[in-house]
Structure 1
Amino acid sequence: MIVPDVSQNAAAVADHYDELDPVYRRVWGEHVHHGLWATGRETPAEAVEALVHAVGDRLRLMPGEACVDIGCGYGSTARQLALTHKVSVTGLTLSAEQARYAAAHPVPGVDIHLRDWLANGLSDASAAAAWAIESSEHMVDKQAFFAEAHRVLAPGGRLVVCAWLAETGASGWKVRHLLEPICREGRLPSMGMREDYEAMAMAAGFAIDDYEDVSQRVARTWTICARRLVKALLVDREIRRLALGGRNRISVLSFPRLILAYRTGAMRYGIFTLSKAR
């Protein structure tokens, strides 16, 4: 497990997304997660939606099921899956700005809450399916993240986790110059390896049904975001202010490190498909 030299907590994560809200929506989009390319000819928007479809397919969502979006961001993934699979979704985010945006874009069956997943208040066995797309990284206690998911899911429930992962056995320079700074700059309390996630999931009671490393299919996300950021810096005064003078400015300027982390293999992107026993 990679742990940054500066401790991160839920308040720091919330502040990060609240302050950089205009930057993220301009540079990364409403989904705030990677795109998934199959042919390489997809537009960035199509690739982002493809990742959502991949999650929905792995969850085998059925109409009428109650679902949970753990770390839902602006609620875009929850809205997409609710509309395409006819399910109801409860989403949780730490960011007040994200919750405000979600409230301004309502969809029937989607309910977004400003709440920490580690104190989610949801009932035992109340959901048939849950997903966490690039949110487990922000959890201070990742073992509790899995334990809460297991508690909230009904017997037979499914969980899909899309996660930023550290390369297994990453060399010292990759940890010092890429992985640890990415954790610090991105407000990640820690970054686990595949083996860490699988061990924590099994300790919480999950069966591991599948794992797929899609690093090469998502990596171009950061070159696209970097180009968008450069363009925004040139034309948008508010973006310049946040990127160059805000409290979380170091996060905005870390895109080259993320590009290099993927190209060197220091960082991986994995999709875990898990299930709770019936």
Structure 2
Amino acid sequence: MGAIVPEVSQNAVAVADHYDEFDPIYRRVWGEHVHHGLWTTGRESPVEAVEALVDAVGDRLNLLPGQLCVDIGCGYGSTARRLALTRGVRVTGLTLSAEQARYAAAHPAPDVDIQVRDWLANGLPDASANAAWAIESSEHMVDKSAFFAEAHRVLLPGGRLVVCAWLAGTDARGWKVRHLLEPICREGRLPSMGTREEYEAMALAAGFAVTNYEDVSRRVARTWPICAGRLIKALLTDRQTRRLALGARNRNAFLGIPRLILAYRTGAMRYGIFTFSKAGENGALRGGQPRN
């Protein structure tokens, strides 16, 4: 199966508009981390779960104090701030959203620089970063092959890239595509949704080695029932949220929440964490064998 492409094409302008318009709702419903939570015991709070996903990314990157890192699609800068604090790294974060960058500027942190910039035209120097990550931002890239090519260009030899991605189930067909995946892409401003196999093929074509892959769908899926409950409560109790949601240009995005819940339950959609490595100076690769 090829990548899922929405009937109405999406671009970086549409992505920025989506996040700028829904900025207050995102922070009220889910907080500063605009990504899934990762549950291990099931007893973690949502805040603990979203931080666990960030820590899982940091672990896979093997970050060392003083390293230079890039957060591709950094949102409000919360991941960058947490990894700068806990791992002692320096982070440049890029976002398309002026509202997200404005929030980040109001919450500065040492060794964190958040900029409004398109990753596909990032302007960063060649071989300038030890590590990079993209937590649920590759889905918004119009050209995913260029996303990987830019990551390979910006990373130093021996560098690592971790990608947390919404993925189409390899065997998704028929109604799962028509009624779940295609509308999720359209409503969520995703130019396309790839499969695990497509991501790995694009990374390999860009020069990376695949050192690890883990499907954590079951551990992240409860994010959406929690979001649904919080959104319903906010709509019922807060007039400002209700007015913004009902009058928003992007209001059809809310339809994606029940679709996402069903997409995970049916296996139409998966959530994967990839670790990619760039060859070192001598051609050697860091890391071990891929995990299935």
Task: Answer with 250-259 or 207-216: which moved more.
Answer: 250-259
Aligned to 1:20: 22
Task: Establish whether residue 165 from structure 1 lines up as the match of residue 167 from structure 2.
Answer: yes
Task: Establish whether residue 188 from structure 1 lines up as the match of residue 190 from structure 2.
Answer: yes
How many corresponding residue pairs?
A: 278
Aligned to 1:263: 265
For 2:17 and 2:254, locate their aligned partners in 1 and report how far apart those are by CA, in whole Å.
Answer: 14
Contact 1:243–1:253 (Cα < 8 Å) also in 2: no
* Distance apart, 1:169 and its partner CA: 1.9
What secondary structure sits across from 1:187 in the alignment?
coil
* Distance apart, 1:109 and its partner CA: 0.1
Task: Answer with 236-245 or 96-105: which moved more.
Answer: 236-245
For 2:111 and 2:163, locate their aligned partners in 1 and report how far apart those are by CA, in whole Å.
Answer: 22
For 2:10 and 2:90, locate their aligned partners in 1 and report how far apart those are by CA, in whole Å.
Answer: 32
Gaps of 5+ in 2: 281-292
For 1:179 and 1:216, locate their aligned partners in 2 and report how far apart those are by CA, in whole Å.
Answer: 18
Task: Establish whether residue 137 from structure 1 lines up as the match of residue 124 from structure 2.
Answer: no
**Divergent runs of 4+, >6 A:** none
Cα RMSD (Å) of the superposition?
Answer: 0.6
Aligned to 1:101: 103
Deviations 1:88-143 (A, max 9, x none): 00000000000000000000100000000000010000000000000000000000
Task: Establish whether residue 275 from structure 1 lines up as the match of residue 277 from structure 2.
Answer: yes
Gaps of 5+ in 1: none
Q: Equivalent of 2:123, from 114, 121, 124?
A: 121
User: Please, what TM-score do these two structures have when normalized by structure 2?
Assistant: 0.95
Task: Establish whether residue 82 from structure 1 lines up as the match of residue 81 from structure 2.
Answer: no
Deviations 1:12-65 (A, max 9, x none): 000000000011111121110000000001001000000000000000000000
Contact 1:243–1:250 (Cα < 8 Å) also in 2: no
User: Please, what TM-score do these two structures have when normalized by structure 1?
Assistant: 0.99
Aligned to 1:73: 75
* Distance apart, 1:242 and its partner CA: 2.3
For 1:122 and 1:254, locate their aligned partners in 2 and report how far apart those are by CA, in whole Å.
Answer: 34
For 1:242 and 1:172, locate their aligned partners in 2 and report how far apart those are by CA, in whole Å.
Answer: 34
> Which residues of 2 match residues 34-73 of structure 1 at below 5 A?
34-73=36-75
Partner amino acid, structure 1, of 2:21: E
